[in-house]
Amino acid sequence: MKCVAKTQAQLSARTDCAVIGVYDKAELTKDGKALDKTLKGRLSRIVASGDFAGSIGDTLLIPDVGTGPVARVLLVGLGTRASWNLRAYRRAALAAMQALLKCAARDACVYLSTESVEGVDAYYRARLLTQALAQASYRIPSLKSGRKPAPPALTQITLVAHTPAELGAVQTGIAHGEAIGTGSALTRDLANLPANVCTPTYLATTAKSMARTHRSIRTTVLAEPALKRLGMGSFLSVTRGTAEPARLIVMEYRGGKKGAAPTALVGKGVTFDTGGISLKDPGGMDEMKFDMTGAAAVFGTIKALAAIKAPINVVGIVPACENMPGSRATKPGDIVTSMSGLTIEVLNTDAEGRLILCDALTYSRRFKPTAVIDIATLTGACVVALGQHVSGMMSNDDTLAQNLLSAGRRSADPCWQLPLSEEYQEQLKSNFADMANVAGRDGGAITAGCFLWKFTQGLKWAHLDIAGSAYVTGANKGSTGRPVALLVDYLLSAKP
C-alpha cells in the first residue's frame, strides 16, 4: 500500500474517501468545515442530528455524498477539545485506518494529519498515522488451512500537509513510519510464530537473510563451541536441558561513519521458556513463545534502521536458546560462571533471561559502545507493577534514561523509570557464589534489573522490561511489536 503527502492546494483530483475528524458536540475540524461547505452542509447536518457523537475513536462511513470531490466520507471521533492529546490522536488514527481497510475505497485522503496536537509536529503526526496504517494492516502469519482472506481494496493513502512548508516533514514522517511499521511487523511475525518453527536456528537464519537483503547489515552467528570458548557459562547453563542448540546472533548495522562507536541493543531470545526444572504452571504456558520478543524487537529495529538508511551505527546482540527441563538441565542450587568471571548461584531456573543477558552484555563490550540497551520480557513482577500500557525501564545513566523516556512519549510507545540502588543489590547476595540469580518476591522487577547492573560497570546502560507491553493475551492474543517505535525514535535522535 502506498502512502503519499500532498498540500491542500494540490488536492484537486476526486478521491474515493475523505477522512475527517469530528470533536465532541458536533464540532467539525477546520478541514471538515471546508469540505462540508463543498458538500452543501451534509456533514454538519449529520453530526447535528445526533447520529455521530464524536466520541474518541468512533467512526461513521457516509458511503455516498453525491457528486463532488469525494465519493465517501469517513467521520472519526476526536473526543473533547480538552482531552485532545497525543494519546487521543493515536487512538483516532488507528480507528480511522481500521475503518478504511474495511470499506471499498481504493484510495483515501486523510486530513487528520493537519490537526494540531500539543507537543507533536507535522513529522510525528504523519509518522504516527503511517504506523497506525501498518498496525491496522498487520495479519498474524497464518498456519491455517483453507483460503487466505482477500486483501483490502485500499491501495493508496494521501496524508495532507497543512502548509507547503510542512510537506517535507510529512514526507519524512511517512518514510519513517513505513520503516517502523515494517520493523514492527517483523517483530510481531517472529514472536507470533510457534516455538517449533521459531527456534534459535530460525532466528539465526532470519538474521543472515537480513544481511543478504541489506548491504548495511553484517551478521555473525556463534554456535555453542564458540560460546564455550568465550566462557559464556551462564548463557549455556540455560540451554543444557534442550536438544535445540543455542546461538549468539550479532547483527551490525553500519549506516554511520566507519569506525564510529555503535549503540548496542541486546535482546533476550528465549524461544520457549518452560521454566526449566523450576517448571511453570501449565496455564498460559503457550504464551512463553513470546519470551523471545526482546530479540524480535532487536531484529525489527535493525530492519527499520536499514530501511530508513539511518546515519548511525548499531549492533544487535541476541542470545537465543530454549529453557527446557531434562536430565542435563541446570538444577536449583547449581553454580555457574559467567563470561565476566562472576559466579552465580541459580536458585530458580525460571529466572533464566538474566542468565543469558549477562553474558551478552559482557560480550557487547568488545564493540566499545556509546550506550547499551537490553530489551527483555524479563519479569512477571513488572507486569504486576506497571500492567500492559508502559514498559519498565532502569538505567545507570540519567541522560540515557531521560532520552528513552522522551522517545517513548514522542513515539506513543512509553516506558516508566524504576529505581536502581545498592539496597536492592543486597538482596542478591549468596553464601556460595558471587551472587544469586533471584532475590525473592519483593521488588522482583527491580532486583532483576540490579542483577544485570552488576555486569555493566563502566558502560552507559539501560534495561527495558517489556513483559507487560510485548504482547496481549485473551481473544486478541499476539505480539504488539513494541518497543520498536521507542527504540527507533531514540536511535534517530540520540547524540553520541
In degrees, rounded to 5, the angle at the alpha carbon of residue 358 between the alpha carbons of residues 398 and 216 is: 80
CATH number at residue 30: 3.40.220.10
Instruction: Name residue 405's amino acid.
Output: L
Q: Is residue 478 part of a domain?
A: yes
Q: What's the total number of domains in the chain?
A: 2
Does residue 351 surpass a pLDDT of 80? yes
Does residue 495 surpass a pLDDT of 70? no
Report the pLDDT averaged over residues 131-156. 90
Examine the domain organization and report whether 203 and 69 are in the same domain: no
Does residue 496 surpass a pLDDT of 60? no
Does residue 235 surpass a pLDDT of 80? yes
Q: What is the pLDDT of residues 39-60, one digit of tens each?
A: 889 999 999 998 898 999 999 9
Q: Is residue 146 part of a domain?
A: no
Q: Is 211 helix (H, G, I), strand (E, B) or coil?
A: helix
Does residue 124 surpass a pLDDT of 90? yes
Active site residues: 280, 354
Q: What is the pLDDT of residues 387-430, one digit of tens each?
A: 999 999 999 999 999 999 999 999 999 999 999 998 998 999 99
Q: Which residues lie closer than 8 Å to 259 by C-beta, 6 or more apart?
A: none
Between the CA of residue 238 and those of 245, 430, 484, what are the distances in Å?
11, 19, 26
Q: Is residue 301 part of a domain?
A: yes
Does residue 10 surpass a pLDDT of 80? no
Report the pLDDT averaged over residues 73-93. 96
- Residue in this structure with the C-alpha cell 474517501, named with its chain if needed: 17
Residue 452 confidence (pLDDT): 98
What is the rounded radius of gyration, in angstroms, for the C-alpha atoms of the chain?
A: 24
DSSP one-letter code for 120:
B
Which element (helix H / strand E) includes 132? helix 122-137
CA dihedral 253, 255, 256, 259 (to 10 degrees): 50
Residues in the chain, overall count: 496
Examine the domain organization and report whether 207 and 116 are in the same domain: no
Examine the domain organization and report whether 394 and 329 are in the same domain: yes
Report the pLDDT averaged over residues 431-439. 97
Examine the domain organization and report whether 132 and 192 are in the same domain: no
Question: pLDDT band for position 150 (50/70/90)?
Answer: confident
Question: pLDDT band for position 12 (50/70/90)?
Answer: low
- Could you tell me if 178 and 170 are in contact, meaning their C-beta atoms sit under 8 angstroms apart? no
Examine the domain organization and report whether 342 and 477 are in the same domain: yes
Q: Is the pTM of this model over 0.85?
A: yes
Between the CA of residue 92 and those of 21, 86, 171, what are the distances in Å?
8, 10, 20
Q: Which residues lie closer than 8 Å to 45 by C-beta, 6 or more apart?
A: none
Q: What is the pLDDT of residues 288-340, one digit of tens each?
A: 999 999 999 999 999 999 999 999 999 999 999 999 999 999 999 999 999 99
Examine the domain organization and report whether 251 and 389 are in the same domain: yes
Examine the domain organization and report whether 239 and 96 are in the same domain: no
Does residue 433 surpass a pLDDT of 70? yes
Does residue 374 surpass a pLDDT of 80? yes
Q: Is residue 175 part of a domain?
A: no
Please tell me the chain's helix, strand, coil percentages from 3-state DSSP, rounded to the nearest 5. Answer: 40, 20, 40
Dihedral sign (CA 78, 83, 84, 90): negative
Examine the domain organization and report whether 84 and 191 are in the same domain: no
Residue 67 confidence (pLDDT): 65
Examine the domain organization and report whether 128 and 200 are in the same domain: no
Question: pLDDT band for position 441 (50/70/90)?
Answer: confident
Report the pLDDT averaged over residues 152-165. 93
Examine the domain organization and report whether 229 and 124 are in the same domain: no
Select from 127, 160, 193 the last residue of a domain.
160
Range of the domain at 32: 2-139+153-160
CATH number at residue 336: 3.40.630.10
Instruction: Indicate the range of 2-16, 233-247, 322-336 predicted with least confidence.
Output: 2-16
Q: Is residue 267 part of a domain?
A: yes
Q: Which of 118, 312, 351 is nearest to 234 (CA)?
A: 351
Q: Which of 61, 446, 492 is nearest to 310 (CA)?
A: 492
Residue 13 confidence (pLDDT): 64
Examine the domain organization and report whether 195 and 80 are in the same domain: no
Residue 68 confidence (pLDDT): 74
- How many H-runs (helices) and E-runs (strands) does the chain carry? 15, 21
Residue-averaged pLDDT of the chain: 95
Q: Is residue 145 part of a domain?
A: no
Report the pLDDT averaged over residues 247-252. 98
Q: Is residue 398 part of a domain?
A: yes
Examine the domain organization and report whether 126 and 24 are in the same domain: yes
Residue 260 confidence (pLDDT): 96
Residue 337 confidence (pLDDT): 98
Q: Is residue 171 part of a domain?
A: no
